[in-house]
């Protein structure tokens, strides 16, 4: 369980202050697929960075299970929460083979002995549907979907309890997106993971998340079970967002707020 308690974050740019987050409260239960949605600049990635300990919040607390997490974390705390970023093209080191990329967290967190690394990496690759031969390849020989699979395998390597997925499928084609989402759901079940899923794509959220937070300009607009939020949105902003979703079926249009 992750508890976000009254988090605020300001950035100081020259003489102006940007309030990126204001009094954010939320509870992420174990095994949730917890979606954070909002448009660019709504603060969703800032929030992820605070949960990860990359940024220090100005106010508020982050609790994981029964311990408070600070921006400065020990190895064990860092291992618990892993991160899959938006752009698979820039998140993998172009000068490292896939083997080196995935084995780094194995070494840092001392997960397996050195002589078992290759075996473990090939196992991790098989979880994400890639052949062991990918180990010797470099990122530029992979397609976008394959790169995102490697990024997921790397996040899994540390044996985390929580995965933060920041727009993991936004850069992918629809068919590939659907495959990666299916893979994520399968992995979640298999490893008993909690997902914090950050996205601006509400149709994806509708289909994979059980809870959703709608953010707007650093504040929470709406918070609740996914089905409720989509069928009975209470805030005007959420209604506008749902109305703007491009849909392909008539029955979807009927579900949009009037």
Partner 1 sequence: MSMSNKLLKIEDLELSFRMYEGISTVLKKINLELAKGEKVALVGESGSGKSVTTKLILGLLNQKNVSKKGKILFNNRNILNLSQNEFKKIRGNNISIIFQDPIAALNPVFKIKDQFYEVNLNNKKISRKDSFIKTCEALKKVSITDPERILESYPFQLSGGLAQRVVITMAMINKPDLLLADEPSTALDVTIQNQALDLMDELTRKTNTAVLLITHNMGVVRKFAEKVYVIYRGVIVEEGSKLQLFSNPGHPYTKALLESIPKLSGDGLPEYDDNPPDYASIPKYVH
> Given the rule CB under 8 A, which residues bind partner 1?
39-40, 129, 144, 173-179, 181-182, 185, 200-204, 206-208, 226-227, 230, 240-242, 244-249, 251-252, 255-256
Contact 167, 199 (CB under 8 A): yes
What residues contact residue 43 under an 8 Å CB cut-off, 6+ apart? 9, 20, 21, 24, 215, 217, 218
The torsion defined by the Cα of 244, 248, 249 and 253, in degrees rounded to 10, comes to 10
Nearest approach, Cβ of residue 203 and partner 1 (Å): 4
CA distance 209 to 64: 20
Residue 57 or 85 having the CB closest to partner 1: 85
Q: How far is the CB of 201 from partner 1 (least distance, A)?
A: 8
Which residue carries 């809870």 as its tokens?
Answer: 211
CB of 74 to partner 1, least distance (A): 37
Distant-in-sequence, close-in-space partners of 210: CB < 8 Å, separation ≥ 6: 32, 33, 34, 225, 226
Q: How far is the CB of 165 from partner 1 (least distance, A)?
A: 15
Of the pair 40, 114, the CB lying nearest partner 1 is at 40
Identify which of residues 7 and 213 has a Cβ nearer to partner 1 in the complex. 213
Cβ 133 to partner 1, closest distance in Å? 17
CB of 117 to partner 1, least distance (A): 28
Of 117 and 208, CB closest to partner 1: 208
Q: Which residue has 């982050």 as its token pair?
A: 62
How many whole angstroms separate alpha carbon 30 and alpha carbon 83?
Answer: 17
Nearer to partner 1, 81 or 167 (CB): 167
Q: How far apart are CA 200 and CA 168, in angstroms?
A: 11
Q: Give the nearer residue to partner 1 in terms of CB position, either 111 or 183.
A: 183
Picking from 64, 75, 160, the residue whose alpha carbon sits closest to that of residue 109 is: 75
CA distance 11 to 128: 37
3-state helix, strand, coil split of the chain in percent (to 5) is 45, 25, 30
| Least distance to partner 1, CB of residue 256, Å | 7
Query: Which lies closer to partner 1 via its Cβ, residue 69 or residue 172?
Result: 172
């Amino acid at each position: 369980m992750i508890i976000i308690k009254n988090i605020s974050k300001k950035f100081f740019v020259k003489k102006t202050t940007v309030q990126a987050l204001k009094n954010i409260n939320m509870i992420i239960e174990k095994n949730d697929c917890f979606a954070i949605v909002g448009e660019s600049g709504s603060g969703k990635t800032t929030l992820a960075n605070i949960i990860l300990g990359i940024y220090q919040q100005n106010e508020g607390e982050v609790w994981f299970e029964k311990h408070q997490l600070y921006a400065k974390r020990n190895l064990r705390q860092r291992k618990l929460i892993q991160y899959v970023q938006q752009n698979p093209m820039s998140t993998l080191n172009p000068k490292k083979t896939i083997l080196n990329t995935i084995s780094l967290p194995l070494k840092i967190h001392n997960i397996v002995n050195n002589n078992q690394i290759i075996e473990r990496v090939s196992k991790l690759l098989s979880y994400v549907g890639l052949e062991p031969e990918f180990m010797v390849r470099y990122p530029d020989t992979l397609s976008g979907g394959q790169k995102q699979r490697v990024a997921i395998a790397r996040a899994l390597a540390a044996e985390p309890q929580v995965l933060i997925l920041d727009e993991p499928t936004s850069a992918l084609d629809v068919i590939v997106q659907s495959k990666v989402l299916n893979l994520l759901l399968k992995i979640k079940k298999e490893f008993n993971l909690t997902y914090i899923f950050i996205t601006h794509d509400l149709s994806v959220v509708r289909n994979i998340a059980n809870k959703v937070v709608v953010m707007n300009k650093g504040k929470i607009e709406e918070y609740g079970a996914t089905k409720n939020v989509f069928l009975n949105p209470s805030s005007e902003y959420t209604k506008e967002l749902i109305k703007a979703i491009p849909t392909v079926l008539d029955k979807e249009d009927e579900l949009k707020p009037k």
